[in-house]
A and B are shown apart, each in its own frame.
Chain A
Amino acid sequence: MPDLGRAALILTLGLCVYAVVAGGAAAMLGRRRLALSARNALYAAFGSTLVASLVLWAAFLRDDFSFAYVAGHSSRDLPFAYKLSAFWGGQEGSLLLWLLVLTAYAAIAVWLARRKARDLVVWVTPVLGGIAAAFTWLLVGVSSPFETIAAPADGSGLNPSLQNPYMVIHPVFLYLGYVGLAVPFAFAMGSLLSGRTDERWIVATRRWTIVAWTALGVGQLLGAHWAYEEVGWGGYYAWDPVENAALMPWLAATAYLHSVMIQEKRGMLRVWNVTLVGLAFCLSLFGTFLTRSGIVSSIHSFTQSSIGPWFLAFVVVAVVFTVAMIWLRLPQLRTKAKLESLVSREASFLYNNLLLVALCLTILWGTAWPILSEAVRGESVVVGRPYYDFFLRVFGLPLLLLMGIGPLIAWRRASLRGLARVFVWPAGIALAAGSLLIALGAGSSIPGLVAYTFATFVLATIALEFVRGTSARRALTGEAVPTAFGRLVGRNRRRYGGYVVHAAIVLLAIGIAGSSAYDSVVESPSPLARGESLAIGDYTLTYRELREREGANATEIRAVLDVRRGGDDLGTLEAGKNAYSVEQQVSNEVGIRSDLLTGEDLFVIAERVYENGTVQFRVFVKPLVNLIWLAGLVFVLGSLITLWPDAREERRLATRYARTPETADRTAT
């Protein structure tokens, strides 16, 4: 079986190199059959990568410890779901997952675009082939998941931190996002290579970008929830390098999703848009480099390896290639349209872009600083949380405000008087909310108060938008409110889906502000004995007993606490440790009681469990933290509305691109 896996990966490498060489030659020489053959090579590369992946999965499920990778990341008593997810529990498997997603995306992307952007696909094929070839080389030549050893009786198990349901799906979403950014990048570069700088690459990749961006966003939220539940330090985001690695391309892609609207509506910012697509992709590579190279220490980085130099070389090649292509095509990318006013929709989107990119680059600087300082001064200096928190406030709060302002300003130019009329209600509601919050004591945190006031403003503008749009439609058509509302959203999916996504970001901001600016923490001054209590806010926790039970592959020790708030009995909460015998590791298992009505969490960590049965506890109260997870659901809903195909738009585009040349789909597979 390992031989089949190795052979499949070698085939993938050959196919990807063929897609680059034959695809490039076909594009330059104008050879139709060769172009189709290169495209078929991408389809075949997906097939052979799938075979390699199935071989590895089969090895995990069969406990075939003759695979060094399986022996290092699984054990006989590992639960089934974790045997499946152990596939990406280490470096080699993660890279294989990257490649599997990439080749699947590449095959689907060129297949879907083969009619609408036929001549473009010819140039996209070698770019996608090149990216896939680089990853395949890492798997074939540097870090293979199919290395064999004399099979031990049992494997060494999976890192306990990864034995969590969120870790089954979090990496998959993250990779769907990271890798998805390769598609808009390939089409943008294909467009530049071909010298055709029209909007077809944008049209062909619009949904790809949103899918990748959504997956990356969801992946980060799942990762945050994992950190919250599993890492057991009382938070969900620590500005860890690996967390930042996922945030940076997401921010760049967010900037692109806004600025591309300016190109679509006004024909402006062509250079900026290809730059952002290149930045997002290169940052996704950089993120994978950080995660996989072990160059920075991180709670999420489970590997130390030798692929770092290869990966760094890949990142450098991608950056140089992107810059060179943009430089080469600058004359074609220049546009006649100019920004007419600093008070206009396009200007507000531009401010949004500058803030997003500034935040992204600030995070990049902080993340790269330990590497740079080590290279220059010989000692690694880590940038702490205050740095990131400061810049999040400096750039994030204006961004939050702009989310409410931008969509309501007219394109081209708007008068301040007109704006005042549009914003009078949302601003009034926001100021009233701010005043109320001060009266309720929220003034203890100025950034928190500002965030809440801005969040109220944005929510009010969004609500008003739906009301205004529905009313206008009713006035025009006489439809009933539900029909008018449904058709308003259905016929303007990008716009109203975008508003729903904005509402999700506002919920996220409220959740982050509430749980970080207004949280409280208490630690028992000395270990608690049975019957002793600990108070935090309105809550009183009484340590009742210590329980021990055998789980599937771990001994579970739990301290049971009775929880009361005011005079009400809220039941019990368990917090403790899991001792994994095979892995010889202990994990923190926190106790969380969520109040879904207020969004508040009571969060208990059993810091130390002593042999005499006493336990050292740390307890947090995190107001509104559950809005962060709710934001994820709203975010997905908004993205789905935006992604839902619009038949009228599709027809219009089909008519527009009907005359683009045939690239001989006569022999298409």
Chain B
Amino acid sequence: MLGAALAVAVVLLVALPFLREPAPDSDRLGELADADRRRLDAEEARDRALDALRELEADHRAGRVSDADYRTVIGAVRRDAAEALRTLDGMEAGTRANGTKTA
């Protein structure tokens, strides 16, 4: 008896999405568009570059990284950050332009 009640409860839970929406407008799963996927990669690259810049500054301030090492690395870190921001800006500009065309 208890087993049967448990079975009914789990079947109801599993069927819930279909019971709640017997005839939905769309049953498609949201997919990441290629543009969104590229944007996500670019945002990850941006966060990575900005983190690296922040960490290098903090390490230098705390004395973990010597002045000479700081000067050797900072250029590349800044370049990466600038490139990541440029890439992202370019994507946003492209998106805005497409939006304007569509409108």
Contact = CB atoms under 8 A, between A and B. Distances in A.
A418 B65 contact: yes
A44 B26 CA distance: 26
Contacts of B72: 413, 415
A410 B56 contact: yes
A263 to B, nearest CB: 9
Given A47-B10, A418-B65, A32 B73 contact: no
A660 B44 CA distance: 13
Nearest to B21: A667
Contact of B52 (A7, A34, A411): A411
A109 interface: no
A3 interface: yes
A445 to B, nearest CB: 34
A408 B64 contact: yes
B17 A36 contact: yes
- Chain B CB count within 10 A is highest, among A196, A198, A476, for A198
Contact of A472 (B9, B56, B63): B63
A667 B20 contact: yes
Given A30-B28, A30-B31, A7 B7 contact: yes
**Chain B CB within 10 Å, residue with most, of A26, A30, A122, A410:** A410
Interface stretch (A223-231, A264-272, A291-299, A366-374): A264-272
Interface string B55-80: 11011011111101110110011000
A417 B40 contact: no
Interface string B24-37: 10111111100011
B48 A44 contact: no
A32 B68 contact: no
Contact of A412 (B39, B58, B76): B76
B73 A422 contact: no
A411 B56 contact: yes
A661 interface: yes
Contacts of B32: 119, 196, 660-661
B3 interface: yes
A505 to B, nearest CB: 21
Contacts of B70: 410
Interface string A625-669: 000000000000000000000000000100011011111101101
A410 B59 contact: yes
A198 to B, nearest CB: 5
B29 A119 contact: yes
A343 to B, nearest CB: 10
A405 B56 CA distance: 17
Given A410-B56, A422-B64, A7 B27 contact: no
B89 interface: no
B21 A415 contact: no
Interface in A291-312: none
A220 interface: no
A468 interface: yes
A198 B44 contact: yes
A497 to B, nearest CB: 16
Interface SS of A by simple majority? helix
Given A410-B56, A468-B62, A472-B63, A40 B6 contact: no
A660 B40 contact: yes
Interface string A332-376: 000000000000000000000000000000000000000000000
Contacts of B41: 198
A253 interface: no
A4 B55 contact: no
Interface string A3-43: 11001100100010010000000110011111111001101
Contacts of A264: 48, 51
Contact of B29 (A35, A199, A475, A657): A35
B16 A664 contact: no
A599 to B, nearest CB: 32
B2 interface: yes
Nearest to A344: B73
Contacts of B47: 652, 656
A6 to B, nearest CB: 8
Given A4-B2, A411-B52, A661-B29, A48 B10 contact: yes
Contacts of A413: 69, 72-73
A469 B58 CA distance: 9
Given A32-B26, A468-B62, A468-B63, 13 more contacts: A31-B28, A34-B17, A119-B30, A264-B48, A264-B51, A265-B55, A410-B73, A411-B52, A413-B69, A468-B64, A469-B62, A660-B40, A669-B16
8 nearest A-B pairs in the assembled complex, by CB-CB distance: A661-B30, A7-B3, A418-B66, A36-B17, A44-B10, A472-B62, A418-B69, A33-B17
Interface of B: 2-3, 6-7, 9-10, 13-18, 20-21, 24, 26-32, 36-37, 39-41, 43-45, 47-48, 51-52, 55-56, 58-59, 61-66, 68-70, 72-73, 76-77
23 contacts: A4-B2, A8-B6, A11-B10, A32-B29, A33-B17, A40-B14, A41-B13, A44-B13, A47-B9, A119-B29, A199-B44, A265-B55, A266-B48, A410-B64, A412-B73, A413-B73, A415-B72, A422-B63, A465-B64, A656-B40, A661-B31, A661-B36, A667-B17
